[in-house]
Each structure stands twice: as C-alpha cells, then as structure tokens.
C-alpha cells in the first residue's frame, strides 16, 4: 500500500480513488462497491468514478502489486458467470 501512495499523488488522487479508478479500467467492470465509515469517505469514493488513469499509471500499479493480482482471464470469466441454480436460491425459489 505504501508504494502506491506516490503513484496516487502523481495522479492527484487519494489511494482509495486510485484503487477505484484502477478497478473501473478493467474489462467488464462497470461499477465498484467500496465501503466507507464516514460521509466524507463516501463522497471521496463517489468522486473517483470520474477520475481516469492512463496506461502508464495502470502499468505502474500492476507492477507494484505484482503477484497479488490474479490475471487469469478464465477465472474472471468464471467469477462473472451467473449460474441458474444460484439465481433461484437468491430469489427464494430453491
């Protein structure tokens, strides 16, 4: 985390905003659910939706995070797949 603070500062972002902007750059990501314990954190998190990070910054973040990120696209596709039996359970039909 400490290594990401200078990257965020270079972009004029907080660490939370950098994290949200990075997630929103990922294929298939259209929103981020971020927690907040204070109203100002919620405001800061919401403002991150309009922040953009360029490819160079994205590469810097990914380099810092290294093996902490699972980059296997098959796992992402599997996690995003909705199984019909899970939908029935969630709806109370199963």
What is the residue extent of each domain of the chain? 2-69
- Output the pTM of the full model: 0.67
Cα separation of 60 and 5, whole Å?
12
Residue among 9, 10, 8, 37 at smallest CA distance from 20: 8
Q: Where do runs of H (alpha helix) occur along 1-94?
A: 5-11, 15-24, 39-47, 55-65, 73-80, 84-90
Helix (H/G/I), strand (E/B), else coil: 16 = helix
**6, pLDDT greater than 90:** yes
Read off the pLDDT of each residue in 24-42 and give the average, rounded to a whole number. Answer: 81
Residue 50 contacts residue 82 (beta carbons within 8 Å): no
């Amino acid at each position: 985390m400490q290594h990401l603070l200078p990257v965020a500062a270079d972009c004029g972002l907080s660490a939370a905003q950098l994290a949200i902007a990075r997630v929103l750059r990922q294929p298939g990501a259209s929103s981020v659910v971020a927690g907040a314990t204070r109203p100002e954190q919620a405001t800061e998190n919401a403002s991150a939706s309009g922040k953009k990070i360029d490819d160079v910054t994205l590469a810097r973040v990914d380099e810092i995070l290294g093996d902490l990120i699972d980059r296997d696209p098959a796992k992402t596709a599997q996690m995003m797949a909705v199984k019909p039996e899970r939908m029935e359970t969630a709806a109370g039909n199963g």
